[in-house]
Amino acid sequence: MSEKAQVESSLKPVKFKLKFPKSIEEFLIKVTGLTLFALKNIKEIFKPPYEFNETLKQMYEIGYKSLPLVAITGIIIGFTLSLQSIPTLEKFGAASLVPSMVALAVILEIGPVITSLIFAGKIGSGIGAELGSMKVTEQIDAMEVSGTNPFKYLVVTRVTAATFMLPLLVILSDFMSLLGGFIALNLTNQMSLKLFLMNSFSSIDMKDILPATFKTFVFGFSIGVVGCYEGYNADRGTESVGIAANTAVVIASLLVILIDMVMVQLTTIIF
């Protein structure tokens, strides 16, 4: 190939490819594969040996390194929500309800869902690409030959880390959102932080906080399972790494929205 042809080839746009089912049969196979993969992960959690060190490492990689992005996003969410709500509520003489409205919206719905979608984009794609590259370069096969259980070492640790770190990130995001709402409110109406927090939590009960917190564990587990599944079952070839990462993000994001819809209905019935 000539130098000109190589340059032209390198300038071609990269296509965004997804490994999506093309028929009902493939869809059912995909759902069955994800379900069995999740059940195997739950089974392997309770079987020794336990990879505590690797789990802690993944918690650091997944949770700690996501703190800046989650914190910035939380402030922006709270600031924007409060800024948009103040003019509307002032028309009805209800500006004092801004803290309660921001707290309810953020803690019950916006905080968990938006943070989980960001988590799916960052962590889901990262896990899919990492395990996909290991599958392509036959590192997973090498672990099996050496007597190591690659599923427990690679999958269980990452799913466990994602399950327990996402709720903590959501709590941070909620707090930063309230801080952003407080900053936006003080641009037009002076209010102390103590009064803002008192008004924020005056209309929130434990029956509101518990379902919102519980579903973040389900979000984290689903994101971890999807990312690991797509990477662990990636096809041979370097292109499959990108496909696994992209597919993991899309499926994980859809699952977050679907699970949230189901959880909202369940909590409405139960509580």
Q: What would the pLDDT profile of 137-193 be if each residue is shown by its tens digit?
A: 888 888 888 888 899 999 999 999 999 999 999 999 999 999 999 999 888 888 888
Two tokens at 164? Answer: 């327990």
Residue 115, burial from CB neighbour count under 10 angstroms (0-12, 13-18, 19+): buried
With contact defined as beta carbons under 8 Å apart, do 180 and 77 qualify?
Answer: yes
- What is the reported pTM? 0.88
Cα–Cα separations (whole angstroms), residue 23 to 20, 28, 35, 47, 211? 9, 9, 18, 36, 35
What is the spatial distance between Cα 254 and Cα 218, in angstroms, rounded to a whole number? 13
* Total residue length of the chain: 271
State both tokens at 11.
């300038």
Q: What is the pLDDT of residue 267?
A: 78
User: What pLDDT does 191 receive?
Assistant: 84
Query: In this predicted structure, what is the pLDDT of residue 165?
Result: 96
Phi first, then psi: what are they for 237, rounded to 5°? Answer: 115, 145
- Tens digit of each residue's pLDDT, the chain (271 residues): 454 544 344 444 445 566 666 778 888 888 999 999 999 999 999 888 888 999 999 999 999 999 999 999 999 999 999 998 888 888 877 777 888 989 999 999 999 999 999 999 999 999 999 999 998 888 888 888 888 889 999 999 999 999 999 999 999 999 999 999 999 988 888 888 888 888 888 888 888 888 889 999 999 999 999 999 999 988 877 788 888 899 999 999 999 999 999 988 887 777 6
- What's residue 94's pLDDT? 77
